[in-house]
Structure 1
C-alpha cells in the first residue's frame, strides 16, 4: 500500500459502483472495481455500495466472494458500507428478505428500508463527526434507506437524523475499521466521507499479509 494512495476497491456486483470509484479517486485512493477473489485479495480497503441488499447477498454467493469477504473483514480489512452496504455489514438485521444473511462485523442492529419506500426518499444536511468539523454539513441523500436500531458499546455514532418523524435515528457509525452510512454521499459530489474512509484505510497499515502476526488492525 502506498502511504499516500492506498488501493481501495468497490464491490462491483450491483449498485452505484461508478460514483464510489470517482469519489474514492477524488478522496485520495487508487480506486478499483472488485468482482473476483484475486481482486479482493489485492485491496487495502473496500466499499460496499448502495443498491439492493438481497441482490448483493445473492451475487456474493454466485461470484464465490461471500466467505473470502467475511474472512477479510474478520482479519481487519477496512470497509465502508453505504445504504445497502450498511445492511451487509450489520451483525443483526430486522425486516430482512427471505433467507437474507449479512457479512457481519459491525456490532449494530439495522432495520432494512426503515425510512419507507423509494417515493419517501429525502435529503437532509447533517453534521457528521470526524467529517464535517467546523465546515458545512454533509448533504445526506436517503433512498429506501436503513437506519441503525441499536449500536453496541464499541460503536461510535457519527450522525443522527436531525428533524422530522425519524429525528434522532442513527444514520452513520464507525466500529474500528468499519464505517457505515444510511445515506449516499457518493451521488452529491461531496467526497469528504470518502476522504475520511481513505484516511481510515491509511491508518490500518495495509492488507493482512503486511501486518505482524496476531494483529487485526481494527482497533
Structure 2
C-alpha cells in the first residue's frame, strides 16, 4: 500500500492526534505531528483529529494554521477531518460562530447526537466497504446538509456521518479509536493516492 517516504500530517494542537499517529505507523506511513505552518510542506495528506472544535480552531488561528491549511489544500493537498475535524472542514455550522477551515460545501450540526453522556457505538454501512464499520461517536456532529460535489458515504438515523468531496474526507466518528484501519486506508488510497 503506502510506499517508503510517504508522509502524512496529523494536526497536533489538541485532541486525539496520537491515536492517528499510531495507526499511520502501523500502515507503514511516516506520521508528521503538525503544529506550525512550515510542517505542512511535502505532506501526502493531513488529518485533523477529534477534540474540541472551538479550541482547535482558536489554536489554529493563533498558530497561523487556519490559512496555512487552506493554502495547503488549494495547492492540491488532501485533508481528512474526524469529529471536531469534520466540524472545522464544513463551510458553515448551526452552532455559535467559530473558526472554520471551510473546505467542504456542507452545514454541520456540532454535538448533533447530544452531549458526552449520549456517546454511542454503532455498526455503520459505508459506501464502498464490504463489511460494516465500527463507528465510535463521542459528542458527535453530523452534516445537516451537503452541497454539490459532496458524496455521502454513511448515515445514522438519516443523518450524514461520513462524506467525501474533492480531496477531502469527513467522518463524524472516531476511526482511530478502533482496531479497524479501513478508513485510514481509504484516506491514504482513495484521497491521497498512496
TM-score (norm 2): 0.94
For the residue of structure 1 that corresponds to 2:179, the secondary structure is coil
Unaligned stretches of 5+ in structure 2?
Answer: none
User: Would you say 1:196 and 2:186 are equivalent positions?
Assistant: yes
Query: Contact conserved, 1:90 with 1:109, CA < 8 A, in 2?
Result: yes
1:26–1:191 Cα contact (<8 Å) kept: no
Structure number with higher relative contact order (C-alpha < 8 Å, ≥ 6 residues apart): 1
Indicate conservation of the 8 Å contact 1:24/1:191, yes or no: no
Segments of 4+ moved more than 4 angstroms = none
Structure 1: distance between partners of 2:13 and 2:2:
28
The higher radius of gyration belongs to 1
TM-score in terms of structure 1 length: 0.83
* Residue pairs, 1:81-120, within 5 angstroms: 81-96=81-96, 99-120=97-118
CA deviation after TM superposition for structure 1 residue 189, in Å = 1.4
Q: Where does the alignment leave 5 or more consecutive residues of structure 1 unmatched?
A: 162-166, 206-219
Corresponding residue for 1:179?
A: 169
CA RMSD of aligned residues (A): 1.6
Q: CA deviation at 1:3?
A: 6.7
Aligned pair count? 193
Q: Deviations over 1:88-120 (max 9, x none)?
A: 000111113xx4120011011111111110000
Aligned equivalent of 1:160: 155
2:133 aligns with one of 132, 138, 158: 138
SS in 2 for 1:51: coil
